[in-house]
Homo-oligomer: A and B are copies of this chain.
Amino acid sequence: MRFRFLGTSTSVGVPVIGCDCPTCVSSDPRDDRSRSSGYLEGPFGKILIDAGPDLRQQALREKLSKVDAVLYTHSHLDHVMGFDELRAFCWRRKSPLPLHGSPETLKALATMFPWAFTKEKISPGYVHPSAQPFDGPFKIKNLLITPIEVCHGNVRTHGFRFDHPGAKSLVYISDVKTIPSDSLDLIKGSDILIIDALREKSHSTHMSVAEALESVETLKVPRAYLTHISHELDCATLSATLPNSISIAYDGLSLDL
């Protein structure tokens, strides 16, 4: 099983348009961040986590030609605006592309992109989705996927826990301020945690670095990666302050599980 960070930034990306702060003009390629997204591969197939606005660039960079399913964390624009880029993956499938999300997320997608969810015949070149609302753990072949409900300000988003025989268990939570206790229980015992850490300063809808580190410690996860990073953090400076078991993620980072 392999996980790739397709994108690791907050909603506006890094660099930010028109910004000349040290991170936005950094020559460190790790500070060039596209919007948060992940790609999980294994014997179960190829799973895309979120289809954000940078999906085309991410797919070209990582030479992705296949997606067997999409998991959605929530319907904020920085996680769904790449919907139409899914066309290229649909052309290479015989069946509709399964989109897994909460009922609320899938409803939001159908509101934004109604022609794709209509019962009428869809043009062959368009996205052909198969909405798969989740309400608890589900499987794709031998991969157990456990949605983890978390709070992103007033919005409910989902992280995911991935368990596959013979592989390390992985938890991915990109947009979170607080984790309810029931959800904490779902994370415990996992091997690797990927978690939101927007910036040093506190924020109303995202964890700060300190909050993310505290969560990792509380959960006793042996290895963690910080993601959904804003331009207020540069990779080199933050990396120097982190314990060995915690890394700052960057676009293109690949984890062999």
Beyond A53-B81, A77-B84, is A60–B112 a contact (Cβ under 8 Å)? no
Those of A1-57 within 8 Å (CB) of chain B = 11-13, 15-19, 53-54, 56-57
Q: Give chain B residues whose Cβ lies under 8 Å from the Cβ of A15.
A: 60
Beyond A84-B11, A112-B112, is A17–B65 a contact (Cβ under 8 Å)? yes
A88 at the interface (CB under 8 A from B): yes
Q: Chain A interface mostly helix, strand, loop or mixed?
A: loop
Task: Judge whether B53 and A17 touch: CB under 8 Å.
Answer: no
A78 at the interface (CB under 8 A from B): yes
Beyond A53-B53, A56-B13, A57-B57, is A18–B88 a contact (Cβ under 8 Å)? yes
Which of the residues B17, B66, B87 comes within 8 Å of A88, measured between beta carbons? B17
CA distance A47 to B60 in the complex (A): 29
A64 at the interface (CB under 8 A from B): yes
Number of copies: 2
A117 at the interface (CB under 8 A from B): no
Task: Judge whether B65 and A18 touch: CB under 8 Å.
Answer: yes
Beyond A17-B59, A18-B65, A64-B17, is A53–B84 a contact (Cβ under 8 Å)? yes
Of A18, A59, A78, A85, chain B has the most CB atoms within 10 Å of the CB of A18
A92 at the interface (CB under 8 A from B): yes
> What is A's interface to B at a CB cutoff of 8 Å?
11-13, 15-19, 53-54, 56-57, 59-60, 64-66, 77-78, 81-85, 87-89, 92, 112
